[in-house]
């Protein structure tokens, strides 16, 4: 997912990181170390923002699509809450504000986070309508580092979107911006750099920018603001789709209207509080994102050693597999070889009774170290990335396995490989919530099977 920030910045002692100190350079955000800003440079008036249900009175389809999405649950899903509170405990209020600037930007902009003890819709609705449609510009252009919530929120009567000739409405003034139709808008929160040591802790935008989707003019919105079927067609044809529809009731039909679904890979409905339809769509995206192919010899002999290959292709994700916080995400190959009598000859990638994945499995993820050189799942404590193994968009990687065939093996051999996904390791879930309280869901993305004659 990520590369070290160019000419890696000297590591700041962890005590400064955990102190949550804001940056002191000229022009720092009011909410530093976050890059979030208000147009006025002051705290926003909370009454200047609409509740999502108010927007839904006119924008019926958009509200229905957003409700129950990961955006709508951004501040309240169980995994995020556990991480945010741990970050708050270890790093202080400024670190909590840094996290919240993307997960509840209106609440941060208005000062509800971190100071208010009573949370309103500004927090409860996470990435809500006005979190995007009160934005006219981003704070600074994307330069390969983290966006770190670099949105500029405006108070007042105007709402902004990608339509150049918006229909007049008594609810608010409307204006079109090119920004809302570009991946750069999404990069404000989907590219994060550690604010003190320069470690890139989320790099989804750069993965897209350097890949074939960006070259084809396909934006984040062309996949994540479409249905699964529509997004698949985009990936297959490498051309954006235009889907006609209404932006609001009693308005004229538009030649292209985006669905406000924001579906990604997280299908953990119970943990996130997603709607059933959003969770189902996330699972379907996972199951259609990649392909597997076995590379097998024409034949083999009992008692010999042969090489097997498993080719993994990222066919439908416009960024890496996995992406986002890849020190947590786990995508791995579960390979099993049995003979015709059912005897297991090789297994790589099994999950044990505790939920731990075979440490020798081919795993696509990243590994972070803290200042003591120990593996950490806490981005705020990380000072170095020591491993990064991801599959880029449209990339194929070939993994090799050596198979020692017993002399008494009975042919033919059955080879089955499954690409599996989960959003966090089980041991991390146990540490956050208590052992066994939240079994993390594993999804089989794709399987390939074949036979090897003896």
**407 neighbors 302 (Cβ within 8 angstroms):** yes
- Spatial separation of the C-alpha atoms in residues 38 and 324, rounded to whole Å: 26
Q: What are phi and psi of 135, to 5 degrees?
A: -100, 125
- Spatial separation of the C-alpha atoms in residues 250 and 241, rounded to whole Å: 24
Report how far Cα 80 is from the mean position of its chain's Cα atoms: 12
**pLDDT score for 389:** 97
Q: Say how many CA atoms lie within 13 Å of 103 toward its Cβ.
A: 21
**247 neighbors 133 (Cβ within 8 angstroms):** no
**98 neighbors 195 (Cβ within 8 angstroms):** yes
Q: What are phi and psi of 364, to 5 degrees?
A: -105, 110
**pLDDT score for 143:** 57
What is the tens place of the pLDDT at every residue in 224-248?
999 999 999 999 999 999 999 999 9
**445 neighbors 331 (Cβ within 8 angstroms):** yes
Give the contacts of 293 (CB within 8 A, at least 6 positions apart). 310, 311, 313, 448
**pLDDT score for 16:** 33
**pLDDT score for 12:** 33
- Spatial separation of the C-alpha atoms in residues 114 and 106, rounded to whole Å: 12
Query: CB 149: neighbour CB atoms within 10 A?
Result: 27
- Spatial separation of the C-alpha atoms in residues 295 and 277, rounded to whole Å: 36
Q: Reduce the secondary structure of 335-399 to three states and give it as a string.
A: EEEECCCCCEEEEECCECCCCCECCCCCEEEEEEECCCCCEECCHHHCCEEEEEECECCCCEEEE
**pLDDT score for 403:** 97
Length in residues, the chain: 454
**pLDDT score for 355:** 95
What is the tens place of the pLDDT at every residue in 178-219?
999 999 999 999 999 888 788 888 999 999 999 999 999 999
DSSP class of residue 303 equals T
Domains and CATH numbers, the chain: 14-237 (no CATH), 289-452 (2.60.40.10)
> What H or E segment, with its residue span, contains residue 451?
strand 443-452
Question: Low-confidence residues of the chain, pLDDT below 50?
Answer: 1-26
| 3-state DSSP assignment of residue 101 | helix
**pLDDT score for 406:** 97
């Amino acid at each position: 997912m990520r590369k070290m920030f160019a000419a890696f910045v000297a590591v700041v002692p962890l005590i400064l990181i955990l102190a949550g100190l804001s940056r002191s350079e000229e022009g720092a955000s009011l909410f530093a170390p976050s890059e979030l800003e208000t147009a006025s440079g002051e705290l926003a008036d909370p009454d200047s923002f609409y509740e999502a249900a108010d927007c839904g009175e006119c924008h019926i389809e958009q509200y229905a699509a957003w409700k129950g999405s990961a955006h709508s649950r951004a501040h309240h899903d169980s995994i995020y809450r556990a991480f945010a509170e741990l970050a708050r405990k270890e790093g202080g209020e400024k670190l909590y504000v840094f996290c919240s600037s993307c997960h509840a930007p209106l609440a941060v902009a208005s000062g509800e986070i971190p100071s208010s003890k009573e949370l309103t819709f500004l927090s409860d609705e996470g990435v809500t309508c006005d979190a995007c449609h009160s934005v006219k510009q981003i704070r600074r252009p994307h330069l390969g580092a983290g966006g770190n919530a670099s949105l500029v929120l405006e108070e007042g009567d105007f709402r902004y979107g990608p339509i150049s000739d918006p229909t007049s409405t008594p609810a608010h003034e409307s204006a079109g911006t090119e920004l809302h139709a570009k991946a750069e808008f999404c990069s404000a929160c989907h590219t994060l750099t550690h604010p003190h040591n320069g470690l890139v802790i989320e790099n989804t935008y750069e993965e897209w920018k350097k890949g074939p989707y960006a070259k084809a003019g396909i934006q984040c919105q062309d996949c994540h603001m479409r249905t699964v079927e529509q997004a698949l067609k985009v990936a297959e044809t490498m051309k954006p789709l235009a889907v006609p529809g209404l932006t609001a009731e009693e308005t004229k039909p538009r030649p292209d209207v985006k669905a406000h679904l924001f579906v990604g890979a997280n299908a953990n409905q119970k943990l996130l509080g997603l709607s059933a339809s959003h969770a189902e769509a996330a699972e379907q995206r996972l199951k259609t994102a990649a392909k597997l192919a076995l590379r097998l010899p024409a034949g083999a002999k009992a008692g010999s050693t042969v090489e097997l290959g498993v080719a993994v292709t990222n066919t439908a994700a416009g960024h890496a597999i996995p992406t986002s916080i890849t020190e947590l995400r786990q995508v791995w190959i579960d390979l099993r070889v049995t003979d015709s009598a059912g005897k297991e000859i090789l297994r790589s990638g099994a999950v044990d009774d505790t939920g731990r994945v075979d440490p020798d499995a081919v795993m696509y993820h990243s590994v972070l170290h803290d200042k003591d050189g120990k593996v950490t799942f806490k981005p705020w404590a990380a000072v170095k990335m020591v491993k990064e193994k991801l599959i880029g968009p449209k990339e194929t990687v070939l993994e090799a396995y050596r198979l020692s065939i017993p002399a008494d093996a009975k042919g033919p051999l059955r080879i089955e490989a499954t690409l599996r996904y989960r959003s966090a390791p089980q041991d991390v879930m146990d540490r956050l919530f208590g052992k066994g309280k939240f079994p993390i869901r594993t999804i089989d993305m794709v399987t390939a099977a074949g036979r090897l004659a003896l």
